[in-house]
Amino acid sequence: MSNDEPRSGRMPRGRTAAEAVYLALRDDIVSLARKPGSQVNEKAIALAHGVSRTPVREAILRLAGEGLIDVVSKAGTYVSRIRLSALAETIVVRKALEEVTVRAAVAHATPSQIIEMRALLTRQAEASEAGDQGAFHLADEAFHETIARAGGFPGIWALVQTVKLQVDRYRRLTLPQPGRMALVIREHKLVLDAIEARDADAAAEAMGRHIAGLDVNLAEIRRINPNHFEEDVATIQRFVA
């Protein structure tokens, strides 16, 4: 199956053509099914989804606004490379927001929600054992979402999702690294243990370390995937200093 073929031949109910194309393209970009720097063929996408080119253009413009697609005049349309400057800013923003949600979860999480979080850690461990990076990522997302929901801040998680698109692509690149998935599970366990112990300071500290730790292996990830990143000297120096 090519990148421009739809995942399903049937459009989900209640969605406009532009919304359906947007969601499919965004998922392909964030999951790295569409590689950074690869060309986006508007005509092929329209044919694959069985729609006109108008909703495809709408979806592309929306993704361009989110920094996931570059529309270059007279040159073409391409999947954006991961911008190091955006990566740095997103880590800072996400760390601040999730320290808020985890403190709220310490105060408000119910026993059943804590059990739900434990089950998600088990799911991550199973995915890690099976080498299933996709399932691991989904369980990771669900863990953080459950914390926000337990704290009474589902809207903050929705906000996190809008700002972390560049980070999600980078996170996908880190998962194949030896020991990475096991490290994430250990860090999640520290967060959850602090929530269960009703220790807000420990929970916030553990969450902060977990989020900030995303940039630890940046130099190695860049070395392995040099064409995936858009770099500037000042940002590189900030990360590797």
**Span 130-149, pLDDT tens digits:** 999 989 999 999 999 999 99
In a domain, 5, yes or no: no
151-154 long-range contacts, CB within 8 A, separation 24+ = 151/100, 151/101, 151/102, 151/103, 151/104, 151/105, 151/106, 151/107, 151/108, 151/109, 152/104, 152/108, 153/100, 153/101, 153/104
Could you tell me if residue 72 is inside a domain? yes
Q: Domain for residue 225, yes or no?
A: yes
168 and 61 inside one domain: no
Average of per-residue pLDDT values in the chain: 88
Please say which residue of 28, 48, 80 terminates a domain: 80
- Residue 166 near residue 85 (C-beta atoms within 8 A): no
Kindly state whether residues 102 and 157 are assigned to the same domain: yes
**Residue 113 pLDDT > 80:** yes
233 within some domain: yes
pLDDT band at 35 (very low <50, low <70, confident <90, very high): very high
Tally of structural domains, the chain: 2
Question: Residue 189: inside a domain, yes or no?
Answer: yes
**Between residues 10 and 39, the one the model is more confident about:** 39
| pTM of structure | 0.80
Band the pLDDT of 9: cuts 50, 70, 90: very low
Residues 125, 92 share a domain: yes
**Same domain for 113 and 76:** no
Strands (E) across 75-227 are located at 76-79, 82-83
Q: What is the percent of the chain with per-residue pLDDT over 90, rounded to a whole number?
A: 66
233 CB burial (10 A radius; 0-12, 13-18, 19+) = exposed
pLDDT bucket at 3, cuts 50 / 70 / 90 = low
Q: H or E stretch including 27?
A: helix 17-30
**What is the residue whose two structure tokens read 């299933």?**
132
4, part of any domain: no
Would the pLDDT of 189 be above 50?
yes
| Owner of token pair 């947007």 | 22
The DSSP letter of residue 179 is T
Residue 1 lies in a domain: no
Same domain, 94 and 115: yes
Same domain, 107 and 185: yes
Does one domain contain both 35 and 93?
A: no
> What tens digit of pLDDT does each residue of 198-212 get?
999 999 999 999 999
Same structural domain, 52 and 92: no
Q: What is the CATH number of the domain that holds 57?
A: 1.10.10.10
Residue 68 and residue 96 share a domain? no
User: Are 139 and 203 found together in one domain?
Assistant: yes
Say whether pLDDT at 12 is over 60: no
DSSP letter (8 states) at residue 7: S
Residue 166 has pLDDT above 60, yes or no: yes
Neighbour count for residue 8 (Cβ, 10 Å): 9
Domain boundary among 41, 56, 80: 80
For residues 49 and 17, give the distance between their C-alpha atoms in angstroms, rounded to a whole number. Answer: 9
Considering the domain architecture, whether residues 172 and 104 belong to the same structural domain is answered as yes
Q: State which of 53, 80, 107 marks the end of a domain.
A: 80
CATH number of the domain at 112, please.
Answer: 1.20.120.530
| 53 and 94 fall within a common domain | no
d(CA 126, CA 131): 9
Domain that holds residue 151: 83-240
Amino acid occupying residue 51: V
Contact indicator for 221, 178 with CB cutoff of 8 Å: no
Average pLDDT of the segment spanning 110-114? 98
Helix axes 42-49, 53-65, angle to 10 degrees: 120
The mean pLDDT value for 48-62 works out to 94
